Structure 1
Amino acid sequence: MKIALLGYGRMGKEIEQIAISRGHEIVIKKDVNDVIDINLADVAIDFSVPTSAFDNISNCINNNVPVISGTTSWLENYDNAVALCKEKKGAFIYASNFSLGVNIFFELNKQLAKMMSNLEDYNISMEEIHHTKKLDAPSGTAITLAEGIIDNSSKTMWELDKKTIEHSIPIAAKRIPEVPGTHTVWYDSEVDAIEIKHTAHSRKGFALGAVIAAEWILGKTGVFNMKDVLNIS
């Protein structure tokens, strides 16, 4: 499989190593302003910057190249990317986190939210920790976790670095050097607490998931997510 890396930062380099180890070829390594011929690739993996993501994705879809995107903070254009993909009969996956473990964690989080939804004595809070070079806060992963709770409970919103208030999920975002990503969800009451947590030991898990998603989407048409890749119903 010939892969275009749209964004060649730390994640792009990690994806390159994983892809080559799985027998694939990197034919494009695109930085922000590079001009490329996307048709050289069988599939593209976008871990670029928010200002480039939609243009990268659109270029792939317009040229019938399946595209995987893990870039965050561009989602005001997500619906436009979906509409373009459907119009062009392309193939597209966006995920806030491609780690296989995190995507299982997303589903555990939803199930726990359903189980706790009628237990009003528990306050919900979240924490995410990432490396100091991460630009957005809270992380896309934390937002996905919060949305999973909101969809399955009486909570209606999340707030960054706020104390617990009714119908809101407070998210604490911390930045510590060389932390790939740690996400924790707490349910706390006067008598006990329940905690679920995912800790990434390295970026390899994110890179492996992105490459597996690229392998999976080849030859398919449509808009997908990691639940499709992992066959999680």
Structure 2
Amino acid sequence: MKIAILGYGRMGKTIERIAIERGHEIVYKTSEPINITELKKAEVAIDFSIPTAAFNNITTCFKENVPVICGTTGWLEKYDEAVSICKANNAAFIYGSNFSLGVNLFFELNNKLAKMMSKFNEYDVEVEEIHHTKKLDKPSGTAITLTKGILENTSKTDWKLIENQEKVDSKTIPVVAKREDEVPGTHTIKYSSEIDEIEIKHTAHSREGFALGAVIASEWIKNKNGVFTMKDVLDL
């Protein structure tokens, strides 16, 4: 398969290596505005760029009939618009806040635990994420997906990014975002009561899992049209 990589930073380089190991060809890679002629050589594009570039990258691919796998976070205020453009062009799109197999299993575990905990109001819930200092958006897209999973399965109605142990009301989920050197990504969900705590946690040891998942999604989306998620790819 011929792949374009949009955003050739650390993740882009890891994706390149894994894609080549799996027998694919990288026909275009860039961190600059898209060259349409080069993009058209690709059968699929993988976008791990930056929040300010993602929407234009994605919609340009749609208009050129190149399927898109997007792992860039921090641009989701335009997600619905991107979906509309995808459908209007009969294109193909997968956005994932996190492409690793382990995190997608963690998403499902989070949803099931939230549904169980919804019956027990004596527990407060908190979401914490830790990433490397070069990550631009805060909180992470993965943390937002986890938080939405809790909102959909409990009586909580909102979430708030907090600092310095700020207090929130009982209907709001506090989200803590930390930035530390060389942390690929750690996400923790904690339910606390006066007598005990229940905690689930996912710790990434490298970027390999994110990159592999993005390449697998690229293999899956070939010759498809529509808007999908990693749940479709992994049949979860």
Alignment of 1:1-233 (within 5 A): 1-33=1-33, 35-37=35-37, 38-161=39-162, 162-232=166-236
Which residue identity lines up with residue 194 of structure 1 in the other structure?
I
Which residue identity lines up with residue 31 of structure 2 in the other structure?
D
Report the Cα offset of residue 165 of structure 1.
2.4
Distance in 2 (CA, whole Å) between partners of 1:28 and 1:117 is: 48
Moved more, 173-182 or 30-39: 30-39
Find the residue that maps to 2:216 and give its secondary structure.
helix
Distance in 2 (CA, whole Å) between partners of 1:112 and 1:145 is: 11
Report the Cα offset of residue 163 of structure 1.
2.6
Q: Which 4+ stretches in 1 moved above 4 angstroms?
A: none
- The C-alpha deviation readout for 1:49-106, integer Å capped at 9, x for no partner, is 1111111111111111111001111112111111111111110000111111101100
For the aligned residue pairs, the C-alpha RMSD in angstroms reads: 1.0
Distance in 1 (CA, whole Å) between partners of 2:56 and 2:192 is: 43
Identical amino acids, percent of aligned pairs: 66
Which residue identity lines up with residue 72 of structure 2 in the other structure?
T
Find the residue that maps to 2:153 and give its secondary structure.
coil
CA contact (8 A) 2:34 2:57 kept: no
Find the residue that maps to 1:198 and give its secondary structure.
strand
How many residue pairs get matched?
A: 232
Moved more, 206-215 or 54-63: 54-63
CA contact (8 A) 1:123 1:164 kept: no
CA contact (8 A) 1:3 1:43 kept: yes
CA contact (8 A) 2:131 2:178 kept: yes
Report the Cα offset of residue 164 of structure 1.
4.2
Find the residue that maps to 1:5 and give its secondary structure.
strand
Find the residue that maps to 1:40 and give its secondary structure.
coil
Unaligned stretches of 5+ residues in structure 1: none
Q: State TM-score, norm by structure 2.
A: 0.96
Unaligned stretches of 5+ residues in structure 2: none
